[in-house]
Amino acid sequence: MEYRTVLTTCTYCGCGCGLYLEVMDGRLVGTIPCKTNPVNEGKLCVKGWNVHEFVQSPKRLTRPLLRKNRELTPVSWDEALDFTAARLREIKEAHGSDSIAFLASAKVTNEENYLIQKFARAAVGTNNVDHCARL
Amino acid sequence: MDDKIKMKVQELLQSGKIKGFLGLRERHGQVGPYLFTDGDDLEGLVVGDRFKPGDSRYPLNKQLMKITRGDPSGCYGVLVRGCDERGLKTLFGSGQIKSEQVVPVGIACPQDLADACECLKPYPDERVAGEAAEPRSFATVAKVEAMELDERFRLWLAEFSKCIKCYGCRNICPMCYCSECTLENKDFGDIGSLPAENPVFHLTRAIHMAGRCIDCGLCNEVCPADIPLRTLYKKIADIVEEEFHCRPGYGSPETPPGLNIRGEELKH
Amino acid sequence: MQYPPNLRVVRVMCSGMVSPDLILRVLSKGADGVLVVGCHLGECHYLEGNLMAAKRVAMLKKLLAFSGIDPGRLRVDWLSSAEAPTFVRVATEFIEEIRALGPSPLRVKA
């Protein structure tokens, strides 16, 4: 039996509460708020308290899905990216850049979020960028 | 204080008596719970008095419960204060942890902390470090009791209305070990709706603390809305003492709380 | 012989299964008072059900008082099923007590 605690930051919103994840034999089993963290001072909200649950959720998407004949079907990354690029170009040409918006996620890294806003502004030409952590 | 604990833990780990020591470690600028398994590497072991006494206490018993369940044959050391020891005794009594799986390493709380906690016993029976501080009585409870009935109702209503229903008080509580919780049962409350039913949500939790609450005060510390839950649970402990003539954690670990009520003289 | 019509009877197997959660739930849902009636002490079919009820009600009464709700809104009494006139008297008395206390503060707070 192996048990350890890992200091990390809550990914649910922009506050960035510090917390410890309890790891037991390679599985996350619990969340403990970090008492000394100056952001949350040992407190968490209901989302933060359950942050260990989504990581191992069987509902997580692990591969790209494309809706074909009204049904989501697993496809390769190449196919998914080609389809997305083609449709984005079509929409941009037909309705203009501002008809497209980009939603980023709190559960990816800062660098990935930088990339998506760069893509939105430089490649597509819109400022319509939003984020689930913009509380 | 840290050095005495370190020496004791090192001795325990090197003798092979315990497989690990659940304590606190300061690392990356933060203090958090950590399971030490190597007697030669106790770097960062602290007792949780960082900037002021007891500012980084954690529900170590709750984690110990997980560890001993994951490894039912192993024996583990754990850092205990007076409240943690009371918790351990109660958990032994209710069969949540086996006493032969635990080696407590006790520290006494400084007087400042005992005052702030209004602790009835700010030290464990067996301690490795620290001087036993003077116990304090429940002044916060007396203050509420001095109020008129409707004044008390308004006070608690105002306090409970701040609740954001994070369930933190239950999640941090080292004595909350039920696998199914009444607070998440749709027959007993409107789960998933905000605000929490006032005052019944908190009164339900309070009545469930009867015979369990060992007055560690972690619920108070974890509450994002600063609801004085500890005062409510202190009162519940008082009520249990009046009704059952025992206070959870203060007796010997072998005698579980006096729940055998048959034959007892009833006052009603 | 009639008991007051504003009393809603909920039958349970034993007063020992009336958990404080249920009483709190009822108060939260707008009841002005709760009357718990069990068998005579010492005559429990399940040996100690009503003794448990006695302790639970006593504890809940004290908690209610501490949180500012009149403990008179909760009453416990011991009756056998052969004592209909006593039940009527207890129920009428209780309803009168509650009427004197007025509507529950949990109901009028909003």
Model pLDDT for residues B48-102, shown as the tens digit of each residue: 888 888 889 999 999 999 999 999 999 999 999 999 999 999 999 888 999 999 9
- Our CA-based measurement puts residue B158 at a distance from the nearest CA of chain C, in whole angstroms, of 11
How far is residue B63's CA from residue B67's CA, in Å, rounded to a whole number?
6
Tokens at A13, concatenated = 């919103």
Residue-range domain boundaries for chain B:
2-117, 139-244
Asked if B253 and B95 count as a contact pair (C-beta separation under 8 A), the reply is no
Average pLDDT, chain C: 92
Q: Which C residues in the span 16-45 are in contact with B, Cβ-Cβ below 8 Å?
A: 20-22, 24-25, 27-28, 41
Q: Which residue of B has its CA nearest to C30?
A: B200
The predicted structure's pLDDT at residue B264: 52
CB of B195 within 8 Å of any CB in chain A?
no
Strand partners, C76: C36
How far is residue B105's CA from residue A89's CA, in Å, rounded to a whole number?
66
CATH 1.10.3720.10 holds for A3-55: no
Classify strands A65-68 and A27-33 as parallel, antiparallel or unpaired. unpaired
CB of B177 within 8 Å of any CB in chain C?
no
Asked if A7's CB is within 8 angstroms of B222's CB, the reply is: no
Q: Which amino acid is at A93?
A: E
Asked if C63 and B239 count as a contact pair (C-beta separation under 8 A), the reply is yes
The predicted structure's pLDDT at residue B245: 81
pLDDT digits (tens, 9 = 90+) for A68-110: 999 999 999 999 999 999 999 999 999 999 999 999 887 788 8
Classify strands A65-68 and B76-80 as parallel, antiparallel or unpaired. unpaired
pLDDT digits (tens, 9 = 90+) for C12-60: 999 999 999 999 999 998 899 999 999 999 899 998 899 889 999 999 9
Contacts of A25 in chain B (CB under 8 A): 70
**What are the residues whose beta carbons fall under 8 Å from the beta carbon of A63, sequence distance 6 or more?**
A74
* Residue of higher predicted confidence among C88 and A110: C88
Asked if A4's CB is within 8 angstroms of B34's CB, the reply is: yes
Partner residue facing B199 (CB), from C51, C60, C67:
C67
Contacts of B208 in chain C (CB under 8 A): 21
Residue-range domain boundaries for chain C:
16-104
Asked if B32's CB is within 8 angstroms of A20's CB, the reply is: yes
Asked if B32's CB is within 8 angstroms of A5's CB, the reply is: yes
- Count of beta carbons in the 10 Å neighbourhood of residue B80: 27
Asked if B235's CB is within 8 angstroms of C68's CB, the reply is: no
Q: Which residues of chain B have pLDDT under 50?
A: 253, 256-258, 262-263, 265-268
Contacts of B229 in chain C (CB under 8 A): none
Interface A–B counts its CB contacts (< 8 A) at 82
Cis (ω within 30 of 0) for the bond into B256?
Answer: no
- The CATH 2.20.25.90 portion of chain A extends over 3-55
Tokens at B159, concatenated = 């306090």
The predicted structure's pLDDT at residue B47: 87
Q: Which residue in B134, B216, B211, B60 sits closest to C20, CA to CA?
A: B211
Partner residue facing A4 (CB), from B35, B59, B224:
B35
Asked if C99 and C70 count as a contact pair (C-beta separation under 8 A), the reply is no
Cα angle at B195 between B189 and B201, to 5 degrees?
Answer: 40
**What are the residues whose beta carbons fall under 8 Å from the beta carbon of A100, sequence distance 6 or more?**
A88, A91, A92, A120, A124, A126, A128
Contacts of B31 in chain A (CB under 8 A): 35-36
- Our CA-based measurement puts residue C17 at a distance from the nearest CA of chain B, in whole angstroms, of 14
